[in-house]
Structure 1
Amino acid sequence: MKSALTAIAFVTMAATATLAQAQDKVTFLTSWYAQAEHGGYYQAIANGIYKKHGLDVTIKMGGPQVNAVQLVAAGQADFFMGKDFQVLSAIEQGVPLTTVAALFQKEPQGMVTHTDVNTLADLKGKTVLVATSGRSTWWPWLKAKYGLTDDQARPYTSNMQPFFADKTIAQQGYPGSEPYTAEKAGMKVKFFLFADDGYPPYGNTIATMQKTVKERPDLTQRFVRATVEGWKSYLENPAPGNALIKQDNPKMDDEMLAFAHRKLKEMKFFDAGDAAKQGAGIMTDARWKNTYDFMISSGQIKPIPNWQQAYTLQFVKDLKVMP
Structure 2
Amino acid sequence: MSVRLRWVAQAQFAGIYVALDKGFYKDAGLDVKINPGGPNVNAETMVASGADTFAITGMTDAILFAREKDLPIVTIGMTLATSPYAFVAQEDAGINSVKDFAGKTMSAWFTGSQYQLYTALTNAGIDPSKETVVSQPFSMQPFIDGKYDISTVTTYNELLSLQEQNIPVKVFRADENGVRGQDGAIIASEETIKEKPEIVQAFLNATLKGWKDAIEHQDDAVNIILKHGTALNREHQVRMMAEYAKLATAGDTKTKGIGYVDLDAAKAVNESLVRFKALKAPQDVSAAFTNRFWDQVPAEDKRL
Give TM-score scaled by structure 1 length: 0.84
**Which of these residues, 81, 86, 97, is aligned with residue 110 of structure 1?**
86
> How far does the alpha carbon of each residue in 1:93-118 deviate from its partner, in whole angstroms, 9 at most, with x for none?
22211110112111212212222432
> How far does the alpha carbon of each residue in 1:279-323 deviate from its partner, in whole angstroms, 9 at most, with x for none?
221224323222222222222213347442001111112433212
Give the distance between the partners of 2:104 and 2:113, measured in 1 at CA. Answer: 17
- The number of equivalent residue pairs is 296
- Which residue of structure 2 aligns with residue 44 of structure 1? 19
- 1:124-203 equivalences under 5 Å are 124-134=102-112, 137-146=115-124, 147=126, 148-149=128-129, 151-166=131-146, 169-203=149-183
Report how far residue 47 of structure 1 moved: 1.5
Q: Quick one: which amino acid aligns to residue 76 of structure 2?
A: V
1:163/1:258 CA distance change after superposition, 3 Å: same
Report how far residue 190 of structure 1 moved: 2.7
> How far does the alpha carbon of each residue in 1:30-59 deviate from its partner, in whole angstroms, 9 at most, with x for none?
122222221111111122121121122221
Give the distance between the partners of 2:5 and 2:130, measured in 1 at CA. Answer: 30
1:248/1:113 CA distance change after superposition, 3 Å: farther
- Which residue of structure 1 aligns with residue 3 of structure 2? 28
- Which residue of structure 1 aligns with residue 223 of structure 2? 243
Report how far residue 221 of structure 1 moved: 0.8
- Which residue of structure 2 aligns with residue 68 of structure 1? 43
**Which of these residues, 235, 244, 265, is aligned with residue 264 of structure 1?**
244
Give the distance between the partners of 1:305 and 1:187, measured in 2 at CA. Answer: 41
Report how far residue 79 of structure 1 moved: 1.0
**Which of these residues, 32, 40, 65, is aligned with residue 89 of structure 1?**
65
Give the distance between the partners of 1:176 and 1:85, measured in 2 at CA. Answer: 19
Q: Is the contact between residue 6 and residue 42 of structure 2 (CA under 8 Å) also seen in structure 1?
A: no
1:150/1:66 CA distance change after superposition, 3 Å: farther
Q: Is the contact between residue 106 and residue 150 of structure 2 (CA under 8 Å) also seen in structure 1?
A: yes
Counterpart of 1:192 in 2: which secondary structure? strand
- Which residue of structure 2 aligns with residue 223 of structure 1? 203
Report how far residue 256 of structure 1 moved: 0.2
- 1:312-323 equivalences under 5 Å are 312-319=290-297, 320=299, 321-323=302-304
Q: Quick one: which amino acid aligns to residue 278 of structure 1?
A: K
Counterpart of 1:221 in 2: which secondary structure? helix
Q: Quick one: which amino acid aligns to residue 133 of structure 1?
A: T
Give the distance between the partners of 1:310 and 1:188, measured in 2 at CA. Answer: 40
> How far does the alpha carbon of each residue in 1:135-191 deviate from its partner, in whole angstroms, 9 at most, with x for none?
664243234333144652222112222211218622111112222222232211233
Report how far residue 70 of structure 1 moved: 2.0
Flag the structure with larger Rg: 1
Q: Is the contact between residue 74 and residue 289 of structure 2 (CA under 8 Å) also seen in structure 1?
A: yes
The farther-off stretch of 141-150 and 63-72 is 141-150
Q: Quick one: which amino acid aligns to residue 144 of structure 1?
A: T
Q: Is the contact between residue 97 and residue 209 of structure 1 (CA under 8 Å) also seen in structure 2?
A: yes
The farther-off stretch of 132-141 and 154-163 is 132-141
Q: Is the contact between residue 126 and residue 170 of structure 1 (CA under 8 Å) also seen in structure 2?
A: yes
Counterpart of 2:103 in 1: which secondary structure? coil
Give the distance between the partners of 2:235 and 2:114, measured in 1 at CA. Answer: 33
Give the distance between the partners of 2:282 and 2:35, measured in 1 at CA. Answer: 31
Counterpart of 1:59 in 2: which secondary structure? strand
> How far does the alpha carbon of each residue in 1:229-266 deviate from its partner, in whole angstroms, 9 at most, with x for none?
1111111223443334334432321110111122234x
Structure 1, unaligned runs of 5 or more: 1-25
The farther-off stretch of 121-130 and 205-214 is 121-130
1:238/1:136 CA distance change after superposition, 3 Å: same
